[in-house]
Structure 1
């Protein structure tokens, strides 16, 4: 059954971002990942609306949101701040939970590190991972260029639908390379090393639940896949050592778990952040 929804538009930096609200309960803002849209997350959104007052939107250049002159982590984060500002003006039952997948997890983590008093808790889904080394190396560039070219080509076949993504393959690759530096703190081009997003985690005093895929990069035992999966798990282990108070879950799935395992993801979110569900579990 589809939940009745309402919509309002947030305008920021020349971008129009339609925000859809539906469901009842504790407010939850869902931030999609790069090349993902709220249309693609439809099943997960509908499941969450059974327990939460859910706000969804698309990143700039994605889905229902308009294109932009620039695409960077800073610009996406600015859009999210604008969305949260409008959500914060509404009468809500409590400070909203923030849930984000992949790139969206990094966006909500950065937001919460700067605006912690407006956040009720975080659900980080296979993202915001303080990996100890860059995910994409020179050896990986050809495969990732091909991957994003395929993604862009697929979206072009759906031009005019809510699934459309307007970014080029090179823009998507550049955003992932930028995110590598943000997560790991390591910039191979200029030989700079920091602790990366671990510093962000240290500033947040709200409940955090980390939901990770066991096979983020896939199940293959060949090529670069095992290295990527090991690195992903190493980042998760690093975070748990730093913040043992963070609760964690794993699903036997790949990075697309928000689509392939929507029911499991919704159940974990409900259990982690709904008092009645926690008591029954």
Structure 2
């Protein structure tokens, strides 16, 4: 059942794989589906969503175990991809949407586009889906990453630290093979990337991770020269700290889609 919030946003639930996925839709114009990332909810993306709804019919949702979505028995890349597939299959849109993904959501968007040709009009990938030349997480990073996972688990509640830790390691594997997925996509694709995904520290993991991130994007654009990219001088929080910039780039790049 679809209900309208006090602000006029249409809200409903998609049930899939034993999980209840809350979906919201509002705005007018070209259809756009926004997929959040790991440890990110549609509520977290409120500013970006509000900006995009000025001239787009925006659909967004929470992945399993996030925000208002119900917990699940399993958390994996394929399980999250199933959530995205279920949401898109349930939509009744006047035309094919542009699919915008943030972080893990960008990787989900690429995998969906590769597996379901002809269903979307284009991709915008925000700080994700990066074909890294080597894994992000080395043995030297594991202690710090486990601490980050524990902090995120305490903030979100449904996913445990082990869930988040395991998903982080799985994403290295996913991104190691993502170029194969790009080769199956015949769509306009634009990337919006942070210049310093791990922050601007000159110590610890940040310098290596920032170099890897840029090297991955350069690799992508060498292998897929039709893909364009914009850089924002920010860390991985760019969707929160630079939402107006991200929204303006999305608007300016959607014309070819």
TM-score in terms of structure 1 length? 0.87
Is 1:179–2:171 an aligned residue pair?
yes
Residue 3 of structure 1: how far off its partner (Å)? 5.9
Corresponding residue of 1:99: 100
Q: Which runs of 5+ in 2 are unaligned?
A: 1-5
Q: Which runs of 5+ in 1 are unaligned?
A: 156-163, 185-195
SS at match of 2:170: helix
Residue 17 of structure 1: how far off its partner (Å)? 0.5
The aligned runs of 1:214-225 (5 Å cut-off) are 214-225=195-206
In 2, Cα distance between equivalents of 1:115 and 1:268: 25
Corresponding residue of 1:267: 248
Residue 18 of structure 1: how far off its partner (Å)? 1.3
In 2, Cα distance between equivalents of 1:69 and 1:205: 35
After superposing on structure 2, the runs of 4+ consecutive aligned residues of structure 1 that deviate more than 6 Å are: none
Contact 2:125 2:191 (C-alpha < 8 Å) held by counterparts: yes
Q: Deviations over 1:94-118 (max 9, x none)?
A: 2000000100000011000011200
How many equivalent residue pairs? 252
In 1, Cα distance between equivalents of 2:174 and 2:152: 23
The aligned runs of 1:101-140 (5 Å cut-off) are 101-140=102-141
Residue 182 of structure 1: how far off its partner (Å)? 1.1
Is 1:198–2:199 an aligned residue pair?
no
Residue 124 of structure 1: how far off its partner (Å)? 0.3
In 2, Cα distance between equivalents of 1:99 and 1:120: 11
Residue 165 of structure 1: how far off its partner (Å)? 4.3
In 2, Cα distance between equivalents of 1:145 and 1:116: 37
Residue 169 of structure 1: how far off its partner (Å)? 1.1
Residue 55 of structure 1: how far off its partner (Å)? 0.3
Residue 202 of structure 1: how far off its partner (Å)? 0.5
Task: Calculate the aligned-residue CA RMSD, in Å.
Answer: 1.4
Contact 2:153 2:164 (C-alpha < 8 Å) held by counterparts: no
In 1, Cα distance between equivalents of 2:57 and 2:105: 19
SS at match of 2:44: coil
Corresponding residue of 2:144: 143
TM-score in terms of structure 2 length? 0.95
